[in-house]
Amino acid sequence: MAKKKKIEEKALADAYNEALALEKAGKREEAANAYRKVLELDPEDHGGAAVRIASMGLGEVPPKAPDAYVATLFDQHAEAFESILVDQLEYCVPLLVRQRIQALGLGPFKKLLDLGCGTGLTGGALRDIVDDITGLDISENMVEIAHEKDLYETLYVAEAADYLEDNDDGPFDIVTATDVLPYLGFLEELFFGVSENLEAGGLYFFSSETLPTDVLGDRDFMVGPHQRFVHAESYVRKVLAAAGFDVVELTDITVRLENAEPIKGHLVVSRKK
């Protein structure tokens, strides 16, 4: 049995490397077909083949990045995550959240839910203005690093929408989702779940990435060139309203760098009605 698994893993690695090489060579149709073979070998899609097909503008756009892909991606990069994200990609969304809290005269808070907590960047940025912080992430390795920092009262390894559906920890008076939306297409499940776990008047802070209207067209979302979901501002506002939120503030920001180029997006502050 062990021998069979080893052969399958080698076949999968070979198939993925072939698809990646075709994509880098600009042979998009051939690459898409190769990624489809990867999906046949690995239906759970640990390598994000479906997302890569969509990023080339071929095939259907999935409703979100596969859980197995996101967990694998962050498990692999957990140790170097902060160095890459903060030092190389100049990611500072957690600090921007804190800045907006102070500028708008909000807080202090009783209970924070930090969705996609990663290694604890947002928890660290807000620790001194929150009594109790619950964090969750789909990556076990990320949660282990966050745990070592002793920033959170409670930590879970969980997918955000699943946790929000079953949670007994709330209600919270503030929820954050920094760098979560780039792994989701449809936002309804997340936003309605957040609303159900927030007390009336509670705040929901999140970041999203976007592309110009001439690229997005009339689409609510798409997978961008860096295999991350981008969302139209109109769609974000529509789903927030449907989930019972008022937009307090929607700010244009640079979310991070990619190949030294700024990635544009939004920082959104919303309040449950």
What's the CATH code of the domain at 146? Answer: 3.40.50.150
For residues 97 and 192, membership in a common domain is answered with yes
For residues 163 and 127, membership in a common domain is answered with yes
For residues 92 and 131, membership in a common domain is answered with yes
Domain termination site, one of 13, 33, 68? 68
Regions of the chain short of the pLDDT cut 50: 1-7
Rounded CA-CA distance 270/273 in Å is 9
Cβ atoms of residues 255 and 272 within 8 Å: no
Domain termination site, one of 42, 68, 94? 68
Q: Structure pTM?
A: 0.93
For residues 53 and 86, membership in a common domain is answered with no
Dihedral (CA of 39, 186, 210, 159) sign: negative
For residues 117 and 160, membership in a common domain is answered with yes
Q: Look at residue 2 in the predicted model and tell me its pLDDT.
A: 41
Q: Give domain status of residue 89, yes or no.
A: yes
Q: Give domain status of residue 74, yes or no.
A: no
Q: Look at residue 130 in the predicted model and tell me its pLDDT.
A: 98
For residues 100 and 197, membership in a common domain is answered with yes
Pairing status of strand 109-115 against strand 130-137: parallel
For residues 44 and 143, membership in a common domain is answered with no
Q: Look at residue 169 in the predicted model and tell me its pLDDT.
A: 86
Q: How many folded domains does the chain comprise?
A: 2
For residues 37 and 160, membership in a common domain is answered with no
Residue tagged 């991350």 (tokens):
228
Q: Give domain status of residue 203, yes or no.
A: yes
Q: Give domain status of residue 95, yes or no.
A: yes
**3-state SS assignment for residue 113:** strand
Q: Look at residue 110 in the predicted model and tell me its pLDDT.
A: 98
Q: Look at residue 200 in the predicted model and tell me its pLDDT.
A: 97
- CA 155, chain centre distance (Å): 17
Structural domain boundaries enclosing 53: 2-68
For residues 64 and 170, membership in a common domain is answered with no
Q: Give domain status of residue 116, yes or no.
A: yes
Q: Look at residue 1 in the predicted model and tell me its pLDDT.
A: 39
Six token digits for residue 95: 């600090």
For residues 109 and 221, membership in a common domain is answered with yes
Count CB neighbours of 14 within 10 A: 12
Rounded CA-CA distance 253/269 in Å is 13
For residues 14 and 110, membership in a common domain is answered with no
**What angle, 0 to 180 degrees and rounded to 10, lies between the N-to-C axes of helices 67-77 and 140-148?**
40
For residues 117 and 186, membership in a common domain is answered with yes
Domain termination site, one of 68, 96, 118? 68
Rounded CA-CA distance 227/20 in Å is 13
